[in-house]
Structure 1
Amino acid sequence: MHRSSAQSPRQESPLRLGFCLLMCCALWSCESVQPVQDLSGLDVRLTILHTGDLHSRLIPYEMVPQYTDEELGLAEGQGPFGGAARVATILKDARRNAGRSLHLDSGDYFQGAPIFNLFKGEAEIRVLAEMGLDAAVAGNHEFDEGARNYATQLERWSTYRTLAANYDFESADDPWNSRLDALIDPVAIFDLDGLKVGVVGMGNLSSITSIHEADNSMDVRVQDTMQTIDHYTALLAPQVDIVIVLTHLSLDDDVEIARWCKDVDIVVGGHLHVALDPIKVVPSEVVPGKRVLVSHAGAFAKYVQRIDLVVRDGEVIAHDNELLPVDSSVPEDADMLDLLHDYERELADTIDLTRTVARTRDRLRRFGSIGGDSPLGNLVVEAMQYRSGIETDFGMTNSLGIRTDIQGPADGQTEHDVTVEELYNVLPFDNTITTMFLSGVEVQEMFDYITQRSAGRGCSTQAQISSARFIMDCSAGIADEITIGGSWAPCNNDEDCEDTGEICSALRCGRPIYPSESYELATNNYVASGGSGFYVLENNTTQEDSGISMRDAVEFFMLELSDWQTDSEGNRVATDLNSLYPEGDGRITPRF
């Protein structure tokens, strides 16, 4: 099959941009070595292969499928799941049976497994290139090791187009920014045997602060979503048969794009790890009778979304989709196994991923049942605060830095071994513990921000804390009854608190904060630098980065907990974490 793609223009003035786009498309047409095929009046079939949010799950992994995964075809006993070699098999089989195909990835292929921590994205980009990926949108986690690393890995290994029309890399002083400007395009045009497909990329907005997780952060000016899409799709529409918007936004954003952007035919999205089967069909609010398709393909290499289209004279007249589970029933592609072999061997030689550090008898969840603190969140932040050499007044970390639950036992088993590999999946970021002193006023401001951020997300807390309690009043947007330290005796009102000066907060007695007093906080270096909007901490001059890995602190804490338990013969046994952290304890209590 003959395929070529246009060189896309940079984000410049509309007049110059339009001129560049037309010229690029003209050059693209001249490059064709085959006569232009007239598809007028014909029903043309196109297969779109959609992956997204791979999060470095290049190697198959064990998990206990939850209800949604089971409903979508992942069954317990069919593991290990995922893995690039199985995804490659699905993609090759799909292409073999399709006349025209286009593989699009909706971003966040970096970060989430130890292979990224060791190789910084080299393996992920080589894998996508080996898969024959056509285009990917730049996800927020592609910047987790900094703009320079992302640019370097793309330059060395990428064979596919990287898109983000809404990112303007304006800081010419930083060489890696200008390199990214040369590597990331707003749009791409693909000629699939005469069927012309335009693709506009839209990078993430809500998590743009992830770009600042590394020292070599970049200066990105983010463009308005709808205006950017309308601008680029209007330029593409006269030159292509269909227009696809490839996003790393959210499902709600994608539905709005489908509803209100008149030149868009399909939205291929990711970011929130949603898998759609069937894909959504959204009626256009601006083109009577038009129906726009929206696809999301899940996360962690658990699925590949296949979308089969029939296109006639620039209109999608029929479609079907199949969400293909990636489990042990899928053979592994030999070429991909060969590519991954040296990475797996070096990974095994460097990190003992199989070592057990604790045990669970039930799933240890990262989200609380009513939107407050969670058992896993409480464990993680206590591990940070109580780490030798840290030992501060209280601790706090961002909830979304804890990326997944700790698994429970599979059917027929009573316990689940928590391994070092699982800790990398739970805490993939190489964050370190930072300490700083806050006044009572700053503590109030920080907890108010947590409350306001959480209120915008269904009053589900966006932080986890230790040695502190508060009422998260989402309706008022303030943190109420904040306490740091205390006896934590049960209470219903202040009169129940016997220790002098304590108040009753979230059903426990604790010491209230005072504006002029100083409190030492342990947090992670990402939050300390203003990540996730914690700007109240960003300019604190008392910050000290301990250099202690957050993940190592959690591992050490679990091993210390194991010292507390012995079997009948006096031998140390791994901790049953559920007995110590059965559920959230109400230290963050939502008030709706």
Structure 2
Amino acid sequence: MSLGSSLLTGCSSGKKHITILHTNDVHSHLDPFPEDHAAFPDMGGIARRATLISGIREENPHTLLFDAGDIFQGTPYFNFYGGELEFKLMSMLKYDAATLGNHDFDNGIDGLLAQLPYAKFEFLCANYDFSNTVMDGMTTPYKVFEVDGLKVGVFGLGIDLDGLVTKKLYKETRYLDPVEITQDIVRELKEEKGCDLIVCLSHLGYEYRNPQTDSDVLLASRTQEIDLIIGGHTHTFLEKPVVHRNQIDKPVLINQVGCYGINMGRIDFYFEQGELVGGEGITISV
């Protein structure tokens, strides 16, 4: 993929066109904010998001929908129903996959497991080792989606729960180094699975003051073959995807759309003869 700085310019004549929609850190905000809300007046709401998604899918049937974690915690819906409504509604919107955020453990690992039957989509978590917990086998590191004859490899990464979540809530869940895990997974997705596009659903956070802290920016710079990192955790509001350079100086898109479901990300990728030739992205207000 030799797109250089032109990655965001797009290529409207591309023979194949894949649209990726995404959310992050919705935090159980199912209703719009009130009209008199100081920061987000009359913004958000899952019904409005559903309408937007439906319209985009009509425009381009080759559309995937993802979430980058922290689905839970933030309104009484979670307090009363423990995540059931969030998962049911996301399933109705036909989310294709999500990763887990730290707040998705707020009712404990048993509470998370109890809600999984309501989620009709995959949870992708490559760097959480659940082998000594009740979540063993309930997530998968990655999934390959076939879209219009192209293979889209998607994997998930979670943040280090130590210090963010009480140990009794995540129990024996082990955090694995995201850079090492990513290097193994992208090699498998590219070389063994033959993926044309590789997407990371990340709840690591966009960037930190300490540049050595695991983050989306660090991940992009220390790995190869990722085309898009869909981020979460830091509630970073980006107007459009940011281009970073990977380990071999090729472009990686990173996007994150704030929080509470008031925005949705849209990224369009264009292919010619199976080769990725362009991409462009915007943030859509809900």
* TM-score using structure 1 length: 0.43
**Match of residue 197 from structure 2:** 242
Kept in 2: contact 1:140–1:208 (CA 8 A): no
CA distance in 2, matches of 1:161, 1:240: 18
Aligned-residue Cα RMSD (Å) equals 1.7
CA distance in 1, matches of 2:104, 2:256: 19
**Match of residue 128 from structure 2:** 167
Tell whether 2:89 aligns with 1:117.
no
Letter matched to residue 59 of structure 1: D
Give 2:66's match in structure 1, choosing from 96, 101, 104. Answer: 104
**Match of residue 61 from structure 1:** 33
Following TM superposition, the consecutive aligned residue runs of length 4 or more in structure 1 with deviations greater than 3 angstroms are 207-211, 312-316
Kept in 2: contact 1:168–1:222 (CA 8 A): yes
Tell whether 2:118 aligns with 1:144.
no
C-alpha displacement of 1:259: 2.1
* Residue deviations 1:145-175 (CA, integer Å, cap 9, x gap): 0111101101x2111110110000132xxxx
Q: How does 1:290-309 map to 2 (within 5 A)?
A: 290-309=250-269
* TM-score using structure 2 length: 0.87
Number of equivalenced pairs: 262
**Match of residue 50 from structure 1:** 22
C-alpha displacement of 1:109: 0.7
Give 1:85's match in structure 2, choosing from 12, 25, 47. Answer: 47
Give 1:190's match in structure 2, choosing from 135, 138, 145. Answer: 145
Describe the shift of the 1:195–1:264 C-alpha distance in structure 2 as closer, same or farther (beyond 3 A).
same
Give identity over the alignment, percent. 33
**Uncovered stretches (5+) of structure 1, i.e. residues with no partner:** 1-41, 66-73, 172-176, 327-592
Letter matched to residue 170 of structure 1: S
CA distance in 2, matches of 1:160, 1:99: 18
C-alpha displacement of 1:231: 0.6
**Match of residue 212 from structure 2:** none
Q: How does 1:93-492 map to 2 (within 5 A)?
A: 93-154=55-116, 156-171=117-132, 177-178=133-134, 180-205=135-160, 207-212=161-166, 217-238=170-191, 239-252=194-207, 253-286=215-248, 288=249, 290-312=250-272, 315-326=275-286
CA distance in 2, matches of 1:297, 1:277: 8
CA distance in 1, matches of 2:232, 2:273: 29
C-alpha displacement of 1:247: 0.2
CA distance in 1, matches of 2:74, 2:203: 17
Kept in 2: contact 1:167–1:203 (CA 8 A): yes
Q: How does 1:516-555 map to 2 (within 5 A)?
A: none
Kept in 1: contact 2:266–2:283 (CA 8 A): yes
Letter matched to residue 38 of structure 2: V
Kept in 2: contact 1:147–1:211 (CA 8 A): no
Kept in 2: contact 1:50–1:306 (CA 8 A): yes
Kept in 2: contact 1:274–1:298 (CA 8 A): yes
